[in-house]
Structure 1
Amino acid sequence: MYLVTFRLDPGEYDAEFHDLNDAIQAAAEGTDGYLGKRTWHAPESEEVLVVYYWESLDTLETFGAYSEHEEAKQRWTEWYDAYEVTVTEILDSYGSGFGDDADPPA
């Protein structure tokens, strides 16, 4: 499994951002191998952390080539003050106490 962590400092969102963001999310959900996402908001700042779960690197690369996703990457300065993307391969995962939350979101 792969995790893509998208850390962002939001700027100003407009209608065009929301339309593009919705299209990107629909594309992710329509991609075989997309396992879900989780979002966290830092209580002490505006920072947002979104973690996307992917079955394989191939499925992630398929999604990355989606035209709206490419457009958003080119236009990031219109909507974010800063961003960072980290791709991580999960080799092992363990723990207890989170119940259904321990698994990737459905």
Structure 2
Amino acid sequence: MYLVTFRLDPGDYDEEFHELNDAIQEAAEGTEGYLGKRTWHDPESEEVLVAYYWESLDALETFGAYSEHKEAKRRWTEWYDAYEVTVTEVIESYGSGFGDDADPPA
């Protein structure tokens, strides 16, 4: 499994952003190998961290080829003050106490 973390410092979102963001999420969910996502907001810094779970790098590359995703990457300065993407391979995941949400989407 692969984990893609998208850390962002939000700027101003307009209607066009929300339409594109919805299209990107729909594209992700329609990509074979997409396992899900989780989102965290830091109330002090207003930064957002979104963790996307992917079955394989092939699935991630398929998603990356969608035109909506490419458009958003080109236009990031319109909506974000900063961003960072990290792609990691998950070797192991474990824990206790979070119920059904403890495990990454499978």
Q: Same fold (TM over 0.5)?
A: yes
Normalising by structure 2, we get a TM-score of: 0.96
Aligned length in residues? 106
Given that 2:93 and 2:103 are in contact with CA atoms closer than 8 Å, whether structure 1 keeps it comes out as: no
1:36 aligned partner: 36
Given that 1:4 and 1:53 are in contact with CA atoms closer than 8 Å, whether structure 2 keeps it comes out as: yes
Shift of 1:31: 0.3
Identical positions, percent: 88
1:55 aligned partner: 55
Structure 2: which 5+ runs fail to align? none
- Alignment partners' CA distance in 1, 2:12 and 2:43: 19
Normalising by structure 1, we get a TM-score of: 0.96
Given that 1:38 and 1:105 are in contact with CA atoms closer than 8 Å, whether structure 2 keeps it comes out as: no
SS at match of 2:13: coil
Q: Name the aligned partner's letter for residue 88 of structure 1.
A: T
CA RMSD of aligned residues (A): 1.0
Structure 1: which 5+ runs fail to align? none
In the TM superposition, structure 1's runs of 4+ consecutive aligned residues that sit over 3 Å from their partners are none
- Alignment partners' CA distance in 1, 2:12 and 2:3: 26
Q: In the alignment, is residue 78 of structure 1 matched against residue 74 of structure 2?
A: no
